[in-house]
């Protein structure tokens, strides 16, 4: 009996280096100024192209502080919006994002639509996602990967709560911590996430504001956070 115990313990020790604990950050894209500048001032978004990028890097620093300097980071970024805003502003934003990922030793995965986002998530090893964060536009029913990049005041790329069953619950650790830093997620999508994936998702009731990232703080909810 004791020998059997030692054998199991040895197997666990040998497998430990192979067991990953990934920290996944999904980042949506900015709107184009040509659309936003047509709206009234109170309704305009994304004057700065890097709101969601900067918030993501702040979260990376927080993760590395909490989980160690070598905590594996997987950064899934919606590419089309950054390509479009790059062309509009005449700046190499996708290149800069790649450089930021390299500096922080984060595995960068570009995605172009909901299908490629789902593939990126489902490609993670079983039980590996220890934390998941989403930075981007959202409403009560969906992560909006872009908003105002193709059509003024509208989204053409999203992950709707109806699509959550397409995500493999097996890629998440049993105690995974998941949070959406977008607006209104806590009003519906959090409940569907828990129902479909079996783990909580923290989300905001009401809008969130990213203005505080200039002070080195993560976005705050104008309502409350709900799981």
User: Is the confidence at residue 146, as pLDDT, over 80?
Assistant: yes
Give pTM, 2 decimals.
0.91
Mean pLDDT on 178-194: 98
* 58's tokens: 């702040």
Distance, CA of 10 to CA of 142 (rounded, Å): 45
Q: What is the mean pLDDT of residues 201-216?
A: 97
Determine the Cα angle at 67 with ends 64 and 69, to 5°. Answer: 45
pLDDT at 6: 39
The residue with greater pLDDT, 7 or 160, is 160
| pLDDT tens-digit readout, 53-96 | 999 999 999 999 999 999 999 999 999 999 999 999 999 999 99
Looking at the predicted structure, is the pLDDT value of residue 14 above 70? no
The pLDDT value recorded for residue 42 is: 86
Q: Taking the domains of the chain in order of start, what are their residue ranges?
A: 20-226
Q: In the prediction, which pLDDT does 19 show? A: 62
What does the pLDDT look like over 50-65, one tens digit per residue? 999 999 999 999 999 9
Q: Which of 227, 172, 174 is nearest to 205 (CA)?
A: 227
Write out pLDDT tens, residues 99-142.
Answer: 999 999 999 999 999 999 999 999 999 999 999 999 999 999 99
Confirm or reject CATH 3.40.50 for domain 20-226, answering yes or no. yes
Q: What does the radius of gyration of the chain's CA atoms come to, in whole angstroms?
A: 19
């Amino acid at each position: 009996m004791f020998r059997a115990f030692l054998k199991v313990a040895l197997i666990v020790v040998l497998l430990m280096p192979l067991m990953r604990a990934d920290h996944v950050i999904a980042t949506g894209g900015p709107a184009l100024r040509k659309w936003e500048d047509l709206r009234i001032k109170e309704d305009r978004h994304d004057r700065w192209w890097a709101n969601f990028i900067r918030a993501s890097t702040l979260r990376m620093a927080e993760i590395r502080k909490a989980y160690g300097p070598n905590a594996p980071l997987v950064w899934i970024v919606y590419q089309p919006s950054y390509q479009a805003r790059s062309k509009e502003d005449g700046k190499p934003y996708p290149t800069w994002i790649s450089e930021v990922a390299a500096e922080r030793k984060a595995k960068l995965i570009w995605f172009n639509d909901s299908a490629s986002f789902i593939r990126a998530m489902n490609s993670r090893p079983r039980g590996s996602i220890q934390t998941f964060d989403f930075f981007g536009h959202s409403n009560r029913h969906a992560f909006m990967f872009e908003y105002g990049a193709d059509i003024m005041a509208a989204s053409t790329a999203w992950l709707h709560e109806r699509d959550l069953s397409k995500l493999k619950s097996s890629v998440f650790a049993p105690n995974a911590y998941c949070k959406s830093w977008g607006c209104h997620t806590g009003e519906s999508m959090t409940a569907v996430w828990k129902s479909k994936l079996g783990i909580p998702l923290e989300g905001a009731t009401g809008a969130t504001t990213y203005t505080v990232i200039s002070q080195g703080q993560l976005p705050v909810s104008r309502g409350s956070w709900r799981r």
